[in-house]
A and B are shown apart, each in its own frame.
Chain A
């Protein structure tokens, strides 16, 4: 007999297989709408649990095996908590890659990396590129750089939208799959957008990065321009944006060197004028 809390769903999210134990049926529903289900007997990379606790002011907890990396959150935040938890699983364990906090987009088999701290506008920009300009989303939160080849591997998952960007993106004509907004999280209001896939791309293939672009959302800026920076400068900034550079040590240095020396590097203060962004970024992949 299966006890309630042992109910699970096995699915593929990005490059990784998850087995989620949860008794929250709404969460299971959302997951099955967004991710491809797998046979329950499939091998898994991460066994995780999102479970409710307390009957007064109910909360949810996230667990990978016996580790609980986050404090419990209010019960309505189960789905964002799951997404953050899955990110945590990857960034803490997948040391076959150098992992950089960045969005990764592909067009014409060429990849640009958009590293960015929260508020940089990288998610909004990524959503616009995918929905309005035919880019493929290889990853929203992390660039997975293969340590032997320096190539970037896809791990597409929904784009995490915050606050004002939810309204902006929902107005895009082809923004069909957005999860309901969840208010009052630590990141404000959040919603997740499933990016469309324009051409089928192989998840098993690595792509060379042609540019690293550090966006900053600057509403007051009058014109959008890519400002070139040196490889060394960008290298040091990428280290700051990396989750496991310090663990990979020499291997991380070599992989980042391989990646950085093969592409252009820019800062990109922009005021959110997407058509100008499209023109500039398409230049990079010509």
Chain B
């Protein structure tokens, strides 16, 4: 899994396992960032898990 923050503040995620790319809106990305900052336990793995969960819930803008 690799990520890229766009200059517009959105988050692009590439899942190499599934060969899928997802886009997370700037608003949601900010929420995620705040969450990550607020909780020290939120490591990358949990973060990735949260993102795949969000993808499943359809909260991600679009996925290839």
A and B touch in the complex (CB under 8 A): yes
Q: Which residues of A contact B (CB under 8 A)?
A: 230-233, 235-236, 239-240, 245-246, 249-250, 253-254, 257, 260-261
Interface hub of B14, B25, B26 (most chain A Cβ within 10 A): B14
B62 near A: Cβ within 8 Å?
yes
Q: How many residues of B contact A (CB 8 A)?
A: 19
* Chain A interface mostly: helix
Q: Could you say which residues of chain A place their CB within 8 Å of the CB of B6? A: 230-232, 235, 260-261
Q: Which residues of B contact A (CB under 8 A)?
A: 2, 4, 6-8, 10-12, 14, 16, 19, 21, 23-26, 61-62, 64
Interface contact A232-B14, CB-CB below 8 Å: no
Q: How far is the CB of A261 from chain B (nearest CB, A)?
A: 6
User: Do A249 and B19 form a contact, CB below 8 Å, given A231-B7, A232-B12, A257-B12?
Assistant: yes
A38 and B39 alpha carbons, distance in the complex (Å): 65
Supplied contacts A232-B25, A236-B62, A253-B14, 7 more A-B pairs, CB within 8 Å: A230-B10, A230-B26, A235-B6, A239-B64, A246-B19, A246-B64, A249-B16
CB contacts between A and B, total, < 8 Å: 53
Interface contact A250-B23, CB-CB below 8 Å: no
User: Do A235 and B16 form a contact, CB below 8 Å, given A250-B2, A253-B2, A261-B4?
Assistant: no
Q: Could you say which residues of chain A place their CB within 8 Å of the CB of B4? A: 253, 257, 261
A261 and B5 alpha carbons, distance in the complex (Å): 9
A230 and B4 alpha carbons, distance in the complex (Å): 14
A240 and B7 alpha carbons, distance in the complex (Å): 21
Interface contact B26-A236, CB-CB below 8 Å: no
Specify the chain B residue showing the minimal Cβ separation from A263: B7
Specify the chain A residue showing the minimal Cβ separation from B24: A232
Specify the chain B residue showing the minimal Cβ separation from A250: B16
Specify the chain A residue showing the minimal Cβ separation from B5: A261
